[in-house]
Amino acid sequence: MLSWKAGLRFMPQEQSKPLDLKMAEDIATKLQNYRTAPFDARFPNQNQTRNCFYNYLDYHRCQKSLDAKGVDTAPCDWYKRVYKSLCPMSWIQKWDDQRAEGTFPGKI
């Protein structure tokens, strides 16, 4: 179902720039303005375990796939900020150790 917001795509916002340059600028601004993990509607309840875990997974998946393409991995830092804000340090330590050992159960 088409909402009125779809039209915003065609509004002239700035002088046209290449899309990846705009995205990199957007992410850089987002990272600069980062204070803490924002509300994520995928995880609305009190138990935020999944929020922490998925961002940890997404960071490492992002790293892996952008590395494989030989592209700058800066966009991945968003996920890193989020999981660093949310996850207990002991979990991050345990998962990092597991990844080093090859026993991390998540799919990266």
Partner 1 sequence: MAHQAHAYHMVDPSPWPLTGAIAALLLTSGTAIWFHFHSLVLVTAGMILLILTMIQWWRDIIREGTFQGHHTPPVQKGLRYGMILFITSEVFFFLGFFWAFYHSSLAPTPELGGCWPPTGIITLDPFEVPLLNTAVLLASGVTVTWAHHSIMEGERKQAIQSLTLTILLGFYFTFLQAMEYYEAPFTIADGVYGSTFFVATGFHGLHVIIGSTFLAVCLLRQIQYHFTSQHHFGFEAAAWYWHFVDVVWLFLYVSIYWWGS
Residue 49 lies near partner 1 (rule: CB under 8 A): yes
CB of 22 or CB of 50, closer to partner 1: 50
- Compute the distance between CA of residue 32 and CA of residue 78 in angstroms, rounded to an integer: 10
Place of tokens 């490492």: 60
Least CB distance to partner 1 at residue 53 (A): 4
The two tokens of residue 23 are 């995205």
Q: How many residues bind partner 1 (CB under 8 A)?
A: 10
CB of 79 or CB of 95, closer to partner 1: 95
Choice from 26, 64, 97, 106 touching partner 1 (CB under 8 A): 106
- Compute the distance between CA of residue 30 and CA of residue 21 in angstroms, rounded to an integer: 14
Place of tokens 């991050």: 92
Residue 88 lies near partner 1 (rule: CB under 8 A): no
Choice from 17, 22, 50, 64 touching partner 1 (CB under 8 A): 50
Residue 43 lies near partner 1 (rule: CB under 8 A): no
Catalogue the long-range contacts made by 66-74 (C-beta closer than 8 Å, 24 or more residues apart). Answer: 72/24, 74/24, 74/27, 74/28
